[in-house]
Amino acid sequence: MKEVALVWIDKNKDKIVEISDKIWEYAELGLKEFKSSKLLSDELEKNGFMVQRGIAGMPTAFIASWGQGKPIIGIMGEYDALPGLSQKKVPWKEPLVQGAPGHGCGHNIHGTSGMAAAIAVKEVLTRYSLKGTVKFFGCPAEENFGGKVYMVRDGYFDDVDVVVSHHPGTMNAATLKSTLAINSVKFHFYGKATHASASPEEGRSALDAVELMNVGVNYLREHVSQDARIHYVIEKGGAQPNIVPDYARSWYYIRAPEREEVEFIYNWVTDIAKGATLMTRTTLEVEFLEGMYNVIPNRTVSELIVESMREVGLPKYSEDDLKFAQEIAKTISIEAKIQTLKKSGRPNWESLVDKLMDDAVPDPWGEGMLEHASTDVADVSWKVPTVEFSTATWVLGTPGHSWQSTAQSASELGHKSLIFAAKVMANTILDLIANPELIAKAKEEHQRRLGNRKYKSPLPIDKKPPLDEWEK
Residue pair 194/141 in contact by the 8 Å Cβ criterion: no
**465 cis-preceded (ω within 30 degrees of 0):** no
What pLDDT score does 101 carry? Answer: 97
Instruction: Label residue 452 by pLDDT band (50, 70, 90).
Output: very high
| 186 & 325 share domain | no
* Residue 419 within any structural domain of the chain: yes
Q: What percent of the chain has pLDDT over 70?
A: 100
pLDDT at 470: 77
* CB distance 108 to 24 below 8 Å: yes
pTM for the complete prediction?
0.94
CB-based contact 422:315 (threshold 8 Å): no
Side-chain half-sphere exposure of 114, counting CA atoms within 13 A: 33
Run of H or E residues at 37:
helix 34-46
What mean pLDDT value characterizes the chain?
97
Residue 116 has pLDDT above 90, yes or no: yes
**Residue 240 burial (CB < 10 Å; 0-12/13-18/19+)?**
exposed
Planar angle of CA 351, 352, 358, nearest 5 degrees: 130
Question: Could you give the number of structural domains in the chain?
Answer: 2
Task: Tell which residue, 389, 387, 391, 399, has the closest CA to residue 417.
Answer: 391
The answer to whether position 249 is within a domain reads yes
Distance CA 137, CA 157 (A): 9
Q: Are residues 320 and 415 part of one domain?
A: yes
pLDDT band at 439 (very low <50, low <70, confident <90, very high): very high
- The pLDDT, as a whole number, for residue 189 is 98
Distance CA 1, CA 269 (A): 54
Is 210 found in the same domain as 337?
no
Residue 460 lies in a domain: no
Instruction: Show the domain range for 243.
Output: 181-292
pLDDT at 461 over 90: no
Domain assignment present for residue 465? The answer is no
pLDDT bucket at 468, cuts 50 / 70 / 90: confident
CA distance 289 to 470: 12
- The pLDDT, as a whole number, for residue 332 is 97
Report the first-to-last Cα separation within the chain, whole angstroms. 51
> Is 128 part of a structural domain of the chain?
yes
pLDDT tens digit string along 236-294? 999 999 999 999 999 999 999 999 999 999 999 999 999 999 999 999 999 999 999 99
**Across 38-61, average pLDDT:** 98
Question: What confidence tens digit (pLDDT) does each residue in 303-358 have?
Answer: 999 999 999 999 999 999 999 999 999 999 999 999 999 999 999 999 999 999 99
Q: Is residue 389 assigned to a domain?
A: yes
Same domain for 146 and 21: yes
Q: Is the pLDDT of residue 472 over 90?
A: no
Q: Averaged over 407-418, what is the pLDDT?
A: 98
Residue 469: predicted pLDDT: 78
What CATH number is associated with residue 66? 3.40.630.10
